[in-house]
Chain A
């Protein structure tokens, strides 16, 4: 690579860093005071893009940028007042889910308001030309972007250090309870910070318009990038976000510049791994005090007898019907395995994973690839595919167990997004966005009832095995690690090893579900391992209740049935699911299992 090409890549990286910084800074500020990781931050960025494209023809591009920022800020303030304010004291997991529900709602809102096509915006008037740099043409607008990042960094710095508002934000970030005891009303502060963070995301989106069209896929892509940046830079640290944005954007630019765009994700992963191993709180972050003790008392409603009865009933279903009900029930069984495997992480291990679909997808793709590319017999593929999921879970889990709480959740999401991107981009192997087709079961399993029985047997065995694991000494040790890691270390439990094993087990069973899924559908696409699929699993578990063992079973069944009927009846079903999640979070924080227990204990 010549010197001038190197310089240009470097400048490209700087331009990318600005936009990353704007998003990450907002995410980080919001997290700092409210301790809520705002999944919908990428959605606010997306809103900024759409609003800008929408307003630019009316008021001109440059006027549309601040207007977009203001509208998005307003939207942020509404979200804070209408939703987040009600759940500041809820368990972290519910908070994350609530903001994820917003992702779904905002996505469908954008779909409704602006349609499914990508919208190309105007170029920035006055900055459409190019300047010669080192003998090449470099877009003026990119130079402008390069300046924007540092400019906002300085502005934010001044705001945080020179104004009373900034001092209060920093105080609340460090110790919000003490700030409150000194008379600081946090309500107003939280709303203002949320609006500010949203405004930054909105500006980021509007400023991205001259370079890329507004589209519906950008939300999760942007938010997972931002997660990587804040995890690397340190949650709550603005300089950290700045530094990490530079680092990540430069790595991306150079990988692309060198012609290895596939390597970008791997490079990002390696950087993240190195930083987190050396500095678990990020480059400039500091340990975050664990939030108040969560109410984690498990009430282990295992209900073996009703479950066996249910199994007997399910075994008789094919006598009554071989129609669509059987297909739906097969889906239910697949997702029961998936949800129960996630439950092992969420419940006994106390680790929130937002990327469980990665292992489900690895199982599904493993099965598909074995059958299609290696012409393995289906039975073998079904058994071997989960090993791919196991491998993935072992590699990612090794990194994840170094973190806890919110950091862990963000890391799982970022890792799953990486797996998704690899599958999405690696056309020659995974079929890219088209996925794999023609993954059919063996002859003797091809009929609906036969496959249904297979699913039933696998599901019963998997759920039984996972329940045994939860009740075993290993499961008890896991709970001990969750409840008091320090004490567990002191009595000789290797906390990380336990959690790592839990990760591997949960991933393997998710892989079982995935491989079963692949053969039941006959085709798979990257959606199989997308982040929304991970969230589906979380919703299933929460719907049923984390504290019970039957919770995920009931939750998976109800959710699968709901999704099936809602997505066939309602055009904007994603928003519908989002609304269900929000209702769930606000009204039913302990899930159906909790409700059942309340009734049974009356």
Chain B
């Protein structure tokens, strides 16, 4: 009964969230939600606050007010690692690959035990998702192209077997061909029933993978 009720509820829910940095307030009472298995896009121009939203959800920026609920757990005040261990994955916009570590080691850092109710990604499955990575298994992260790093970044996050992922502009700065690969990979992840929140500037890319979109402008949700 409860389980049935939950499936119609949001997996991730952001309520009246405000957040910012030392001097600047960036987000003003934004609310959004993503249901299980759904892909929602957060669209907006440069500086709208998309990345800040994802960072606040992940505990990397402290909100000044509002609530964040993930699978029934309140996230505010938790450390990023605690949030990650609840099954929420994060792919930052600047990728932040460990440049000193090899591809396999980067993946190892994020590895978590299989999670009930979420799909399990072992190395083999990750290399199937991103075949280009297989050949680079022992390459250091710092010696990979931007596109390869982006793939590794997503693969790394999936290695934690998340039930939902926050993707920050995965198509940014990639060649058209690679953007296409990326879109296909994200659709594949979606098919694995991973909930996706995608921050994007490109309406076109968001339209290819997302079920719904929110438009964020100057820290306020304009339309849903």
A residues contacting B by CB (< 8 A) are 164, 167-168, 170-171, 173-175, 177-186, 293, 295
Contact = CB atoms under 8 A, between A and B. Distances in A.
Contact of B79 (A170, A174, A180): A180
B217 interface: no
The 7 closest A-B pairs by CB, nearest first: A183-B84, A182-B110, A180-B80, A178-B96, A171-B109, A181-B80, A180-B81
B177 to A, nearest CB: 27
Contacts of A179: 98, 109
B101 A171 contact: yes
8 contacts: A167-B105, A171-B105, A174-B101, A182-B109, A182-B157, A183-B81, A185-B81, A185-B85
Interface in B92-141: 92, 96, 98-101, 105-106, 108-110, 112
Most chain A CB within 10 A, of B108, B109, B156, is at B109
A183 B96 contact: no
Interface string B152-181: 000011001000000000000000000000
A186 B79 CA distance: 10
A179 B22 CA distance: 23
Nearest to B153: A178
B80 A177 contact: yes
A362 B108 CA distance: 54
A168 B80 CA distance: 16
Contacts of B101: 167, 170-171, 174
B58 interface: yes
A178 B156 CA distance: 11
B22 to A, nearest CB: 6
Nearest to B55: A181
Given A167-B105, A168-B109, A170-B101, A181 B22 contact: no
Contacts of B85: 183, 185
B74 interface: no
Interface majority SS (helix, strand, loop, mixed), chain A: helix
B60 interface: yes
B70 interface: no
Interface of B: 22, 58-60, 79-81, 83-85, 90, 92, 96, 98-101, 105-106, 108-110, 112, 156-157, 160
A184 B105 contact: no
Contact of A170 (B80, B83, B100, B160): B100
A168 B90 CA distance: 18
Nearest to A185: B81
Given A168-B109, A173-B100, 19 more contacts: A170-B98, A170-B101, A171-B105, A171-B106, A174-B101, A175-B98, A177-B60, A177-B80, A180-B80, A181-B83, A181-B84, A182-B90, A182-B156, A182-B157, A183-B84, A183-B112, A183-B160, A185-B85, A295-B22
Contact of A167 (B59, B84, B99, B108): B108
Contacts of B60: 177, 181
B108 A164 contact: yes
Contacts of A180: 79-81, 84
B149 to A, nearest CB: 13
A174 B157 CA distance: 17
Contact of B98 (A171, A186, A293): A171
Nearest to B87: A183
Given A164-B108, A171-B109, A181 B58 contact: yes
A178 B157 CA distance: 11
A185 B85 CA distance: 9
Contacts of A175: 96, 98
Contacts, number: 63
B35 to A, nearest CB: 23
Contact of B110 (A170, A173, A183, A295): A183
Nearest to A184: B81
A183 B110 CA distance: 6
A190 to B, nearest CB: 12
Contacts of A170: 98, 100-101, 105
A174 B100 contact: yes
A180 B60 CA distance: 9
Contacts of B109: 167-168, 171, 179, 182, 184
Contacts of B157: 182
A174 B58 CA distance: 19
Contacts of B90: 181-182
A121 B105 CA distance: 44
Nearest to A183: B84
B184 to A, nearest CB: 24
A161 to B, nearest CB: 8
A174 B140 CA distance: 13
Contacts of A186: 81
A180 B59 CA distance: 10
Contacts of A167: 101, 105, 108-109
Contacts of A173: 100
Contacts of A293: 22
B204 to A, nearest CB: 28
Most chain B CB within 10 A, of A168, A178, A183, A295, is at A183
A186 B160 CA distance: 16
A81 to B, nearest CB: 17
A293 B22 CA distance: 9
Most chain B CB within 10 A, of A164, A167, A179, A185, is at A167
A184 B160 CA distance: 10
Contacts of B100: 170, 173-174
A289 to B, nearest CB: 11
A181 B99 contact: no
Contacts of B22: 293, 295
Contacts of B80: 177, 180-181
A182 B84 contact: yes
A178 B92 CA distance: 9
Contacts of B112: 183
B75 to A, nearest CB: 13
A128 B84 CA distance: 55
Most chain B CB within 10 A, of A171, A173, A186, A295, is at A171
Nearest to B112: A183
A164 B105 CA distance: 9
A293 B24 CA distance: 14
Most chain B CB within 10 A, of A174, A178, A295, is at A178
Contacts of A182: 81, 84, 90, 109-110, 156-157, 160
Most chain B CB within 10 A, of A164, A181, A293, A295, is at A181
Given A167-B108, A180-B84, A183-B110, A174 B160 contact: no
A560 B25 CA distance: 44
Nearest to A166: B105
